[in-house]
Amino acid sequence: MIPLFLFHFFILISKTYLIYRFGIQIKYRMSYTISITKSNHSRLSEIDFNHLPFGRFFTDHMFIADYSDGVWHDARIIPFSNLEMHPASMVLHYGQAIFEGMKAFKNQHGEVIFFRPEMHSKRLNASAERLCMPTLPQELFLEALQQLVLLEQDWIPTLEDSSLYIRPFMIATDGFIGVRPSQTYQFIIIVGPVGPYYAKPVKLHVEQQYVRAINGGIGEAKAAGNYAASLLPAKLAQENGYDQVMWMEAPEFKYVQESGTMNIFFVIDGKVITPSTDGAILKGITRDCIITILQDRGYEVEERPISIDELVAAHDAGTLQEAFGSGTAAVVSQIVEISYQGETLKLPALERSVVAPLAKSIIEGIRKGTIEDKFGWVVPVQMLEEV
């Protein structure tokens, strides 16, 4: 007969392994109760999964939690619907709004998985702190993801470059006119099936009038206002035949920051270079994956300031081999040309690219389960009891 203390020790070790291996689902289920109200009618049959524009379709349900008196409460999944807001809701007037972008997939075995969800939780909370908003317990974040995605798993597309896009966001809800942090908030998650974000390689225009962010600002936060400020420069670039802008630091417009809504990488003479995250550049999770993958494959990766002059010199010398953007929506998007002061820097033919296709193929392979997840990035979505 096994002594009682050994039995409890065995249970503890087993739980510890399960927590490590499966994203701490058991612990989280004990911490939060999420009520579920199911929709009476599903719109799933209305979706053409062979033609999925990005960000157009949404599933039958959404998650909401409220914050007041210093506590998150009333966690619930309800049918997808419009929000009711006070006309003086502070998010509408003072811009306290943050979000994340992430995805769920089905691997080659049909299992539903997340990709580094804890990193998205951490970045959401970093954004919240910068905008003077309450942080969200990681347990609640992950439990909400688990339950909502399991409920909507039939919406996950399986075609190449498609996924279930997940948009967690937080908004200030006080009905008050006055510049101060809100005292009430809502955290919401909506999800929807998507195809590829960029269907083709992109052309960039080097922006030299408008800026995305500066040190000391909120560029490192995933704040809604950052994207509002980017719309006009992007529109002007597109009117001139480009897909996006290459953001430069202010006030000198000398050093590269990002590519549209993506982090950016350059391959110069076999070396991979990406701008360092200095407070004005978003700490991209896909960016971190690519750096880790390339270093693991033996590439020299430098995180440092890179000037437009260095890019021009490398192009003229024939050593600028690749340029590509990275982000959750696009994963990897190759850049074919960069316009700067009337000059067009044409990148080598895409068939000669090595680094960008390698990084993308490994990330996608890990997600599909065709490549070993040696970094522990994949978190399987666990089956929950029917509610």
Average pLDDT estimate for 250-274 = 96
Mean pLDDT of the residues in the chain = 91
Its CATH class, for the domain covering 202-353, is alpha beta
Model pTM score? 0.89
Backbone angles phi, psi at 25, to 5 degrees: -65, -40
pLDDT tens profile 317-368: 999 999 999 999 889 999 999 999 999 999 999 999 999 999 999 999 999 9
Structural domain spans, the chain:
19-42+49-196+374-380, 202-353
In the CATH scheme, what is the code of domain 19-42+49-196+374-380? Answer: 3.30.470.10
The pLDDT tens digits for 246-260 are 999 999 999 999 999
The residue written with tokens 């820097």 in the block is: 345
131 in Cβ contact with 96 (< 8 Å): yes
Bond preceding residue 251 cis, omega within 30 of 0: yes
User: What is the SS3 assignment for 347?
Assistant: coil
Torsion of CA 96, 23, 386, 57, to 10 degrees: 50
d(CA 222, CA 278): 15
Helix (H) or strand (E) segment spanning residue 71: strand 71-79
For 27, the 3-state DSSP assignment is helix
Residue 305, pLDDT > 60, answer yes
The secondary element (H helix, E strand) that includes residue 121 is helix 117-130
pLDDT tens digit string along 13-55? 444 344 334 443 333 344 689 999 999 999 999 999 999 999 9
Distance CA 268, CA 324 (A): 12
Please tell me the predicted confidence (pLDDT) of residue 26: 34
